[in-house]
Every structure is written in C-alpha cells, then in structure tokens.
C-alpha cells in the first residue's frame, strides 16, 4: 500500500517513497525517510516525522515510548493541520484506511521490539 501511495505522490509532483536515511543506525534530525523528514528525535523516547508527500495541509507522524515499570507503551500519533475543506475531506475520508495502516505499523514495530527485549540496543 505504501508503494502505491509513493507512486501517486510522484505523479502529483511529490517526493515519492525512494529516499532513505543517511545513517540507518541512528536517527538524525533533518534526515529524509521515505516521504517523511525527521523533525524531532529523543533517543529511546520520541521520533517525530513531518510529511513531505503531497497532502492538502501539514501532516506528521509521531512515536513516543512511555515507560511503566518493566514495560513500556508505544504511543503513535498522526496529525494534520489544514485550513481548507479539501484537507478536511482528505483527512476524514482516509481515516479508516489510515487506522488500518497505522495499526499494521504498530504491529510490525511491536514484533521488532520483542526481539530487542532485554537488549541494550535501541528500537529508535
């Protein structure tokens, strides 16, 4: 599904999904990641990505690790700022699809995180 979105983005003049980070071991503010730009990063705590894909507004995706005893919760927040009707139609029209995509994303991150359990290695 992401590849299809990347092709659509290219067709409308966006950056597509071709870009990767300079350093795949560490997040660096300002690095490109697919059609996102890393805008904030606190190791083992927070990653905020701002969308560079073509959308009718400003979109972002944020992941936050919230520790609780010997466990943690990963909070994923997606948002969009828009000041027009088309932007609202885009956001609410794709809400159900985004919910499925973001759930799949969290499931994949959860699987990856379980491999890191007890490790000093960082998930992000």
- Residue 70 pLDDT class (50, 70, 90 cuts): confident
Q: How many domains does the chain have?
A: 1
Question: In this predicted structure, what is the pLDDT of residue 1?
Answer: 58
- Above 80 in pLDDT, residue 86? yes
Collapse the DSSP code of 99 into the 3-class scheme (helix H, G, I; strand E, B; otherwise coil) and give the result: helix
Q: How far apart are CA 78 and CA 80, in angstroms?
A: 7
12 part of a folded domain: no
Q: Which domain holds residue 73?
A: 19-116
Helix (H, G, I), strand (E, B) or coil at 79: strand
For the stretch 43-66, pLDDT in tens is 989 999 999 988 999 999 999 999
pTM score of the predicted model: 0.77
**Which of these, 45, 50, 54, 73, lies nearest to 6 by C-alpha position?**
54
Domain contains 50: yes
Predicted confidence band at 10 (pLDDT cuts at 50, 70, 90)?
low
| Beta-carbon-side half-sphere exposure of residue 62 (alpha carbons within 13 Å) | 16
121 part of a folded domain? no
Average pLDDT over residues 2-27: 67
């Amino acid at each position: 599904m992401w590849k299809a979105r990347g092709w659509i983005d290219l067709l409308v003049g966006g950056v597509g999904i071709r870009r990767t980070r300079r350093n795949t071991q560490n997040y660096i503010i300002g690095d490109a990641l697919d059609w996102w730009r890393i805008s904030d990063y606190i190791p083992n705590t927070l990653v905020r990505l701002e969308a560079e894909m073509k959308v009718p507004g400003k979109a972002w995706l944020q992941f936050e690790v919230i520790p609780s005893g010997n466990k943690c919760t990963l909070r994923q927040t997606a948002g969009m700022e828009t000041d027009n009707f088309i932007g609202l139609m885009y956001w609410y029209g794709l809400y159900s699809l985004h919910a499925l995509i973001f759930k799949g994303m969290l499931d994949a991150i959860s699987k990856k995180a379980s491999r890191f359990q007890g490790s000093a290695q960082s998930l992000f």
